[in-house]
Amino acid sequence: MRSGDIEWWLETTEKHNSQATSLKHETTVDRATDDRAAKRRRLHHLTPPSSYREIAEDDNTKQHQVHHLMPLQNVVMETPGGGPKRRMDDETPRVKRVQSSSSRSYSFSEQSSRCTRSGRTSPLKQMLKLRHDPNGLDMRELESFADMPEELVVLLDDIQAFVDGKGIVSTSAQVALVAAAQSDQSFRWASPSRGSEFLTDDPTVAGCTPLPEFVLDAKAAAVECSYRNYPEATWNLEVHQLILSMAFRPPGQRRFRQLVNFMGSTTAAVMPEYGNPLASKRVDFCIYIEPENDATLSSEYRAAAERMRNALPQEVLNFTDFVPLDDRVVALIIETKKPGENMETGQLQLGVWEMARWNFLRRLVAGHSDGDVFAADSDSAMQSVRLPTFLPGIVIQGQDWYMVVTTAEGDRTVLWRKKFIGSTANSRGIYQIVRTLQYLERWARDVYWPCVRSMLEAGAGLPVL
Residue 442 lies in a domain: yes
pLDDT exceeds cutoff 80 at 352: yes
User: How sure is the predictor about 457, in pLDDT bands with cuts at 50, 70 and 90?
Assistant: confident
Given its phi and psi angles, is residue 207 left (phi above 0), alpha (psi -120 to 50 degrees) or beta?
left
Tell me how many domains the chain contains. 1
Mean pLDDT over residues 287-308, rounded? 94
Residue 334 lies in a domain: yes
CA distance linking residue 245 with residue 434, whole number of Å: 9
User: How sure is the predictor about 464, in pLDDT bands with cuts at 50, 70 and 90?
Assistant: low
Residue 222 lies in a domain: no
CA distance linking residue 31 with residue 68, whole number of Å: 17
Residue 185 lies in a domain: no
Mean pLDDT over residues 410-423, rounded? 97
Contact 261, 288 (CB under 8 A): yes
The closest of 252, 271, 273, 253 to 261, measured between CA atoms, is: 253
Relative orientation angle of helices 150-163 and 427-443, to the nearest 10 degrees: 160
Contact 405, 345 (CB under 8 A): no
Residue-level pLDDT at 452: 96
Residue-level pLDDT at 366: 85
Residue 187 lies in a domain: no
User: How sure is the predictor about 30, in pLDDT bands with cuts at 50, 70 and 90?
Assistant: low
CA distance linking residue 93 with residue 72, whole number of Å: 8
Contact 314, 359 (CB under 8 A): no
DSSP state letters, 398-446: TTEEEEEEEEEETTEEEEEEEEEEEETTSHHHHHHHHHHHHHHHHHIII
User: How sure is the predictor about 378, in pLDDT bands with cuts at 50, 70 and 90?
Assistant: very low
Residue 106 lies in a domain: no
The helix/strand/coil state of 184 is coil
What DSSP element (H or E) covers 12? helix 3-43
Mean pLDDT over residues 141-152, rounded? 96
Contact 345, 289 (CB under 8 A): no
The whole domain housing 151 covers 123-163+258-459
Mean pLDDT over residues 185-213, rounded? 94
The helix/strand/coil state of 273 is coil
The helix/strand/coil state of 320 is strand
User: How sure is the predictor about 120, in pLDDT bands with cuts at 50, 70 and 90?
Assistant: low
What secondary structure letter does DSSP report for 191? S
Instruction: Print burial letters for 88-126: b (CB count within 10 Å at least 16), e (below 16).
Output: eeeeeeeeeeeeeeeeeeeeeeeeeeeeeeeeeeebeeb
Minimum mean pLDDT range among 27-31, 46-50, 120-124: 46-50
Residue-level pLDDT at 252: 83
Query: Count of H helices and E strands in the chain?
Result: 15, 11
pTM: 0.72
Residue-level pLDDT at 254: 86
Q: Average pLDDT, whole number, for the chain?
A: 80
pLDDT tens digits for 208-264? 999 999 999 999 999 999 999 999 999 999 999 999 999 999 988 888 999 999 999
Residue-level pLDDT at 450: 96
Between 150 and 460, residue with greater pLDDT: 150
Residue-level pLDDT at 178: 95
Contact 462, 300 (CB under 8 A): yes
Residue 7 lies in a domain: no
pLDDT exceeds cutoff 50 at 72: no
